[in-house]
C-alpha cells in the first residue's frame, strides 16, 4: 500500500504542485484582508457569571477601561505662559473626533449653591482668559483646596493629570491608532513648547503601544527566523539548494497562515503574531528529515526517483504522524472557551499539517529536477563533530544505562521540587520591558496617583431610590475611607463624593465642610441626586447615569489600582477588600459586588492557565492514542512518553528555581514542547521497529542512533537557534517562550538519544 502511495505522489507531482501554487496565490490574495486585533483580549467567556455581571455593569454605567491619562509633575506648569499652553492642549484634545471628554486642571468645575432655584450648579474654576500670574496663582491655590479632585486630578506633591475619555467605538476599531497617534502628537507638541515632560498611561494607550509593537515584531521575528534557519541549513548541508528549497516551502506555508487568518475572520493578536516565525522553525525539520533520508537513500539506489520513493515509503507516514502530534499540541487549545487561544490553536494546527503536505509534494519535485547530489552535498553525513556526538550517545546508552537512569531520576525529583515553587502571576500591562517608556510612565502614575487600572464596586441597595438613604451613603463613605488609606488604591469617586462636594458648596465652598451631611442639612443636599446634575467627568453623561442607575437603586464606586500582578491583586481583593465590605455591610440588606476590567483580568488569567493545563492533558491523551495506533504496543507507548515527560518537568523546575511565573506565554511552552519532542520518539521508534525485523536488539539500537540520531541532532540545532531568536523580542513572555522552548527541546533530543535507548535495552525483550 505504501509503495503505491509513494509512486502515486511522484507520478502526480505536477498536479499537486499546481494545486499548491493555486492555493498559495489565493491565500496571498486573502492575506491583504487580515487585520490587527483592536479589541481587548477577553479570556473569560461571556457565559461566565462574573462576565455576565460585568457586561451588565457596562450597560448600566458605561465603560470603565476607556480613559487615557496624561500626567506631569513640573512646577513650571503653574507659570502663566505654560498654563495657557496647557489650556490650549485640553481644548484641542476635546475637539478631536473620538474623544468624549477631557478633564484637566484648567477645566475643573465646582458646585455652586443657587439660592434662587434652591439647587446646585457646576461652574468652571478657570476663565477662558487669564490676565495675570497673580490671578492664576489665586485660582490654583483655590483649586488645590478642592478635596473632591485631590488624588484624582492633582496630589500634594505637585503632580497633575489629564483624563481623556475615548469613545468605545473608536477604541475597538482600526481608527484607534490614528486617534491615539493624534493625541500623543498633541502631547509632544506641548512638550516641545513648554519643556515639560508628559507621561502617558491607561488601557487605551497600553493597548495602542503593545499592538504597534506586535506589528513591528511580526516582521522582525519572521525575517530573523528565516535568516537563522537558512544559515543553519547552509552550515549543515553546504548547499544553496538545501537552503532555498526548504525556505521556499516554508514561505508558502507562511502565506497560508495569513490567508487562513483572513478566511476564518481572525485578527492578528499578540499570540497569533507568533505563528509565522513559529511555523518557520517547526516546519524546517520536515525538510531536514526528508533531505537526510534522501541522501542516505541515494547512496544505496543511485537514482533520484527510487531514492524519493524510499523516502516517502520509509518516513512519509512517520512524518505525517509527527506533524499530527505537533498539530494536536496546538489544536487542543481550540477546546478552550478562550477566543485568542482557540484562534491560535486552529490556525497553528491546520498549518502544521499543511506543512507536511507542501513539503512532501514540493521537495521531491524540486530535487528530481535538480542534478543528483554530489559528494560535497552529502559530506555532512560524516561530519566529525556529529559522528563523535552520535558515538557518545551510543556509548552512553550501551555502557552506562544505570547512570542514565540515576541522573534522570535525580533530575526528575529536583524538577518536581522546582515545580512546587512555580507561581501564577501576570500583569495587565505584561511582558513589556521595565526600561520601556510605557512601564516608566505606568510607574509614574502608580507613584503619584496609585495607578490607572480600573476597579469598580457596585452597591445594590435592593430598593428603589435607596441611594438617598443616608445610612447607606455613610457605609459607602466608610468603605471609601478604608480604600483611600491603601497606597495601591486611588481616591474613590462615587455619588458620595458629589454629596460631600454638595455640602461644601452649600456652606459657600468652605473645604472644612467637605463631609457627609448631618440630619439637619441632609434633605436639601440630597436633592441634587434627583435633579441629575451634569457630571464633571464626561460632558455627555449625567450623575444618575454614571454613578447611580436609573432607578436610584445601585451605587457605583469607581477607583483605580496599581498593576500589582494577578497573584497580589487576587490576594488583596479576597483578603482585604472583600472582608472589609462584609464587615461594613453585614447588617445591611445591600449587596456589594466587585467588578471591572481589573477583576475580569484576574479571573481571565486563572481561567487561561486552567484551560492551558487541561488542553495539555488532552494533548497527552490524544498523542498517546496516536502512538498506540502506530506501534500497537502499550509498552512502546509508555517507553516513548517517558523521555518526553522528563523535559516538561525540567521546564517546570527551571521556572520554579528561576522564579519565572506561570502565565499564558510560559504555559504555552508545554504544549509546543510536548507536541514537538514526541516527534523525536516517533522517528526513533519507527526506525528501531524497521531495524528490528532483520537485526538483533543491540544492532537495531545501534543503527537507529547512527542514522536517525543524525537527523535528530540536525533538527535540534535548527529548533534551538530558531526558537532562541524569540529572546530578542520586546515582550517578556515571548522571550521566556523562546528561551525555555529552545533549552527544553534540546534536552528532549538528549533524552531521546540516551534515556530512550537505555530503557529499550534494559526492558525490551522481544
Listing DSSP states for 487-553 in one string gives TTBPPPBSHHHHHHHHHHHHTTT-GGG-S---TTTHHHHTHHHHHTPBPSS-TT-BHHHHTB-TTS-
183-to-102, 194, 454 alpha-carbon distances in Å: 12, 17, 21
Neighbours of 372 (CB within 10 A): 11
List where CATH 1.20.1640.10 sits in the chain.
Answer: 1-64+214-372, 383-420+633-766
Phi, psi of 133 (to 5 degrees): -65, -35
Say how far apart CA 51 and CA 601 lie, in whole Å.
10
Say how far apart CA 154 and CA 160 lie, in whole Å.
4
Say how far apart CA 573 and CA 211 lie, in whole Å.
29
Domain 1-64+214-372 fold is: Multidrug efflux transporter AcrB transmembrane fold (1.20.1640)
Instruction: Give all strands (DSSP E) within 192-342, no chain letters.
Output: 199-201
Say how far apart CA 460 and CA 723 lie, in whole Å.
52
Question: Phi-psi category of 118—alpha, beta or left, where left has phi over 0 and alpha has psi -120 to 50?
Answer: left
Start-to-end Cα distance in the chain: 26
What residues of the chain score a pLDDT lower than 70? 1-3, 38-43, 116-118, 128, 270, 381, 431, 434, 524, 526-545, 664, 764-766
Q: What is the pLDDT of residue 439?
A: 86
Q: What is the pLDDT of residue 457?
A: 93
Say how far apart CA 112 and CA 114 lie, in whole Å.
6
Say how far apart CA 275 and CA 345 lie, in whole Å.
10
Say how far apart CA 143 and CA 130 lie, in whole Å.
15
Say how far apart CA 107 and CA 127 lie, in whole Å.
9
Which value, in Å, is the radius of gyration of the alpha carbons in the chain? 32
Is 431 within 8 Å of 731 (Cβ atoms)?
A: yes
Q: What is the pLDDT of residue 499?
A: 86
Please tell me whether residue 38 adopts helix, strand or coil conformation. coil
453-to-41, 446, 596 alpha-carbon distances in Å: 16, 9, 9
Q: What is the pLDDT of residue 2?
A: 65
Domain 383-420+633-766 fold is: Multidrug efflux transporter AcrB transmembrane fold (1.20.1640)
Q: pLDDT per residue over 686-727, tens digit each? A: 888 888 888 888 999 999 998 888 888 888 888 888 888 888
Give the residue among 445, 565, 432, 436 at the shortest CA–CA distance from 163: 445
* DSSP state, residue 369: H
Q: What's the pTM value of the predicted model, to 2 decimals?
A: 0.76
Amino acid at each position: 500500500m505504501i509503495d503505491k502511495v509513494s509512486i502515486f505522489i511522484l507520478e502526480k507531482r505536477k498536479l499537486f504542485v499546481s494545486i499548491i501554487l493555486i492555493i498559495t496565490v489565493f491565500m496571498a490574495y486573502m492575506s491583504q484582508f487580515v487585520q490587527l486585533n483592536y479589541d481587548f483580549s477577553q479570556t473569560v467567556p461571556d457565559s461566565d457569571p462574573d462576565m455576565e455581571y460585568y457586561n451588565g455593569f457596562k450597560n448600566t454605567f458605561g465603560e470603565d477601561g476607556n480613559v487615557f491619562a496624561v500626567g506631569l509633575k513640573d512646577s513650571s506648569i503653574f507659570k502663566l505662559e505654560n498654563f495657557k499652553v496647557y489650556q490650549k492642549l485640553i481644548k484641542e484634545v476635546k475637539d478631536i473626533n473620538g474623544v468624549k471628554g477631557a478633564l484637566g486642571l484648567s477645566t475643573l468645575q465646582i458646585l455652586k449653591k443657587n439660592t434662587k432655584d434652591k439647587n446646585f450648579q457646576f461652574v468652571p474654576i478657570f476663565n477662558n482668559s487669564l490676565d495675570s500670574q497673580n490671578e492664576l496663582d489665586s485660582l490654583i491655590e483655590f483649586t488645590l483646596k478642592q478635596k473632591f479632585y485631590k488624588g484624582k486630578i492633582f496630589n500634594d506633591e505637585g503632580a497633575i493629570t489629564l483624563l481623556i475619555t475615548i469613545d468605545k467605538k473608536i477604541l475597538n476599531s482600526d481608527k484607534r491608532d490614528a486617534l491615539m497617534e493624534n493625541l500623543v502628537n498633541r502631547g509632544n507638541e506641548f512638550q516641545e513648547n513648554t519643556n515639560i515632560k508628559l507621561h502617558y498611561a491607561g488601557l487605551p494607550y497600553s493597548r495602542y503601544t503593545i499592538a504597534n509593537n506586535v506589528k513591528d515584531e511580526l516582521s522582525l521575528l519572521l525575517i530573523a527566523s528565516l535568516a537563522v534557519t537558512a544559515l543553519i541549513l547552509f552550515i549543515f548541508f553546504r548547499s544553496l539548494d538545501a537552503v532555498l528549497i526548504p525556505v521556499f516551502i516554508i514561505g508558502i506555508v507562511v502565506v497560508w497562515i495569513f490567508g487562513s487568518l483572513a478566511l476564518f475572520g481572525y485578527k492578528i493578536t499578540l499570540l497569533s503574531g507568533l505563528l509565522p516565525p513559529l511555523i518557520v522553525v517547526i516546519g524546517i525539520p520536515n525538510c531536514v528529515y526528508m533531505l537526510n533520508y534522501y541522501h542516505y537513500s541515494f547512496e544505496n539506489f543511485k537514482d533520484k526517483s527510487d531514492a524519493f520513493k524510499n523516502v516517502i515509503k520509509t518516513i512519509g507516514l512517520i512524518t505525517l504522524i509527527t506533524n499530527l502530534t505537533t498539530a494536536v499540541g496546538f489544536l487542543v487549545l481550540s477546546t478552550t472557551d478562550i477566543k485568542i487561544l482557540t484562534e491560535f490553536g486552529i490556525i497553528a494546527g491546520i498549518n502544521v499539517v499543511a506543512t507536511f503536505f507542501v513539503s512532501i509534494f514540493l521537495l521531491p519535485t524540486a530535487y528530481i529536477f535538480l542534478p543528483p547530489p554530489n559528494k560535497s552535498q552529502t559530506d555532512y553525513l560524516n561530519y566529525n563533530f556529529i559522528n563523535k556526538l552520535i558515538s557518545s550517545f551510543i556509548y552512553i546508552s550501551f555502557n552506562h544505562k544505570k547512570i542514565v537512569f540515576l541522573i534522570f531520576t535525580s533530575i526528575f525529583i529536583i524538577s518536581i521540587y522546582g515545580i512546587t515553587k512555580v507561581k501564577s502571576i501576570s500583569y495587565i500591562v505584561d511582558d513589556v520591558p521595565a526600561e520601556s517608556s510605557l512601564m516608566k510612565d505606568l510607574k509614574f502614575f502608580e507613584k503619584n496617583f496609585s495607578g490607572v487600572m480600573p476597579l469598580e464596586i457596585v452597591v445594590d441597595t435592593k430598593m428603589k431610590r435607596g441611594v438617598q438613604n443616608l445610612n447607606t451613603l455613610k457605609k459607602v463613605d466608610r468603605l471609601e475611607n478604608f480604600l483611600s488609606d491603601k497606597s495601591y488604591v486611588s481616591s474613590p469617586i462615587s455619588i458620595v463624593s458629589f454629596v460631600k462636594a454638595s455640602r461644601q458648596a452649600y456652606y459657600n465652598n468652605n473645604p472644612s465642610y467637605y463631609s457627609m451631611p448631618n440630619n439637619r442639612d441632609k434633605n436639601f443636599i440630597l436633592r441634587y441626586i434627583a435633579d441629575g446634575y451634569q457630571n464633571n467627568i464626561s460632558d455627555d453623561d449625567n450623575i444618575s447615569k454614571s454613578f447611580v442607575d436609573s432607578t436610584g437603586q445601585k451605587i457605583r464606586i469607581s477607583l483605580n489600582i496599581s498593576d500589582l500582578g494577578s497573584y497580589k491583586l487576587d490576594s488583596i481583593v479576597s483578603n482585604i477588600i472583600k472582608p472589609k465590605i462584609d464587615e461594613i455591610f453585614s447588617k445591611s440588606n445591600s449587596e456589594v459586588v466587585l467588578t471591572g476590567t481589573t477583576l475580569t483580568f484576574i479571573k481571565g488569567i486563572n481561567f487561561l492557565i486552567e484551560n492551558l493545563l487541561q488542553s495539555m492533558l488532552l494533548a497527552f491523551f490524544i498523542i498517546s492514542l496516536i502512538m498506540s495506533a502506530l506501534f500497537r504496543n502499550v509498552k512502546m507507548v509508555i517507553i516513548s512518553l517517558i523521555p518526553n515527560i522528563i523535559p516538561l518537568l525540567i521546564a517546570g523546575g527551571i521556572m520554579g528555581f528561576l522564579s519565572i511565573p506561570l502565565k499564558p506565554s510560559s504555559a504555552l511552552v508545554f504544549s509546543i514542547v510536548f507536541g514537538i519532542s514526541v516527534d523525536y520518539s516517533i522517528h526513533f521508534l519507527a526506525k528501531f521497529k524497521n531495524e528490528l525485523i532483520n537485526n538483533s536488539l543491540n544492532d537495531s539500537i545501534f543503527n537507529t542512533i547512527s542514522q536517525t540520531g543524525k537527523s535528530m541532532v540536525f533538527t535540534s540545532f535548527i529548533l534551538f537557534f530558531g526558537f532562541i531568536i524569540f529572546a530578542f523580542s520586546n515582550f517578556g513572555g515571548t522571550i521566556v517562550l523562546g528561551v525555555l522552548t529552545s533549552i527544553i527541546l534540546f534536552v528532549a533530543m538528549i533524552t531521546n538519544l540516551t534515556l530512550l535507548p537505555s530503557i529499550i535495552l534494559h526492558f525490551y525483550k522481544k
